[in-house]
Chains A and B, each alone.
Chain A
Amino acid sequence: MSIWEYANPVKFIRTTDLVLPWIAAAAVICLVGGLCWGFFFTPDDYRQGSTVKIFYIHVPAAMMAINAWAMMLIASLIWIVRRHHVSALAARAAAPVGATFTVIALATGALWGQPMWGTWWAWDPRLTSFLVLFLFYLGYMALWSAIENDDTAADLTSILCLVGSVFAILSRYAVLFWNQGLHQGASLSMDAEENVADVFWYPTLMCIAGFVLLFVALVFLRTQTEIRARRARALLTRERLT
């Protein structure tokens, strides 16, 4: 029994079919439970009022936006090293989900920033690097959709993912440096995990679990769709040939 057995698309579909409903249900329970708990049963922050509650969406979305890229990186590496098609398709499936999480993080951040900082957008290092991450997602997805041959597309995008990861990390530190050079960024950043009290922490934890499960469920579902679409295409080609 090894994890590579799931590189077989049939086995992958069979297994994910079994676990997908459970993961999806758990994601719904965690998200609904965590968000309700967070929105209705926690006190308002004494300075930020009720706006603090957007963090139950903002923090998990931001975390998953970065983790989705990390997952794509690992899947791309597996594709380059071991040539398992499921891995390449999983990387492809994760990209739009990760991009959506990035947009959610940016949008909720802007919604929170407007009343709290008095501005929708600031060129804070964190915000800027997230915007750059979003650009990386866009480029990755555009390259996938631009190439017709599936294997070529998988090869090219996985190399782009590797190179892009290096440059994304470089950008992160470059942006930190750049903003320190202009003005102090500390007043704009709030490290949620260190400052947050237990009352807020437990619902946040539940929401994070919900977002992780949601991501896994969506990636499984989209990978299945990709596999089935590819099989349908293969069948069509075979029909036409015979």
Chain B
Amino acid sequence: MIALLLRDLRLAVRAGGGFGLGLAFFLIVTVLVPLGVGPQTALLARIAPGVLWIGALLACLLSLDRIFALDREDGSLDLLATAPLPMEGIAFVKALAHWITTGLPLVAAAPLLGVLLNLPTPGYLWLLVSLALGTPALSVIGTFGAALTVGLKRGGLLLSLLVLPLYVPTLIFGAEAARRGAEGMDVQTPLLMLAGISAGAVALLPFASAAVLRINLR
């Protein structure tokens, strides 16, 4: 499992440029929002947590089809399937690699982009915490979607149609926690719900992804 994780990480960093792509997309979305809604700092400060969450979510979505597509093309996914590692483990490691290469950089970059959107000072901590708790769920759900569409030629658009409704609860609780944090309100309830969704998704969805992968590879 560790070897597979290291391989995926190396591939993401060295080949294809998938590593920086999500971050660049996140940056561009954050720059485009003030251009679209106008530069009033009060308005930006109010919508900043939500915009950053949506930006992170879309950046996550952008890199999803890379999770399995490349491995499927060069046949290494079939090799992995016949390896002694159980399919559930493969799905989990793939999600973990996606989170490390996409989710973690997004979490780290979010406070910097918060400056651009004039995020209120108390909001930074809770934005970080909510993203750190929520992005694992985004990665695991996305891996499930990627596993569903791995056999399709034009899976990209379908992938977003399948995955975005599944992202709804995560987005609601995550953005709510960040917003409450920014306004200095109590953040415990949404944070707990967000952590619950993440923990549940990480625990259960690899099984669904593995089942779907087995169907797609047969």
Contact = CB atoms under 8 A, between A and B. Distances in A.
A179 to B, nearest CB: 10
B161 A138 contact: yes
Contact of B162 (A160, A171, A177): A160
A171 B168 CA distance: 6
A19 interface: no
Interface stretch (A9-17, A45-53, A142-150, A224-232): A142-150
Given A139-B162, A160-B162, A164-B165, A178 B176 contact: yes
Interface string A117-139: 00000000000000010011011
Contacts of B144: 163
Contacts of A178: 172, 176
A162 B166 CA distance: 12
Nearest to B218: A152
Nearest to B214: A155
Interface string B145-175: 0001101100100100110111011001100
Nearest to B215: A155
A59 B212 CA distance: 36
A147 B180 CA distance: 43
Given A132-B168, A159-B208, A142 B148 contact: no
B69 to A, nearest CB: 15
Contacts, number: 77
* Size band of the interface chain A makes with B: 20 to 34
A159 B164 contact: no
Interface in B49-108: none
B166 A167 contact: yes
Nearest to B189: A177
A132 B170 CA distance: 13
Contacts of A173: 169
Given A135-B165, A177-B193, A181-B176, A162 B216 contact: no
Interface residues of B: mostly helix, strand, loop or mixed? helix
B148 A143 contact: yes
A75 interface: no
Contacts of B208: 159, 162-163
Contact of A160 (B148, B151, B152, B172): B148
B190 interface: yes
A156 B215 contact: yes
Contacts of A65: none
Contacts of A174: 168-169, 172-173, 193
B212 A156 contact: yes
Contact of A167 (B168, B189, B212): B168
A180 to B, nearest CB: 10
Contact of B215 (A139, A152, A170): A152
Interface string A205-221: 00000000000000000
Contacts of A177: 172-173, 176, 189-190, 193
**Top 3 A-B pairs, shortest CB-CB distance:** A174-B169, A135-B165, A170-B169
13 contacts: A136-B165, A143-B148, A152-B216, A156-B216, A159-B148, A159-B208, A163-B166, A163-B208, A164-B165, A168-B165, A173-B169, A174-B173, A181-B176
Given A135-B165, A156-B148, 9 more contacts: A138-B161, A142-B161, A142-B162, A146-B155, A155-B212, A163-B144, A171-B165, A171-B168, A177-B189
Interface of B: 144, 148-149, 151-152, 155, 158, 161-162, 164-166, 168-169, 172-173, 176, 180, 189-190, 193, 197, 205, 208, 211-212, 215-216, 218
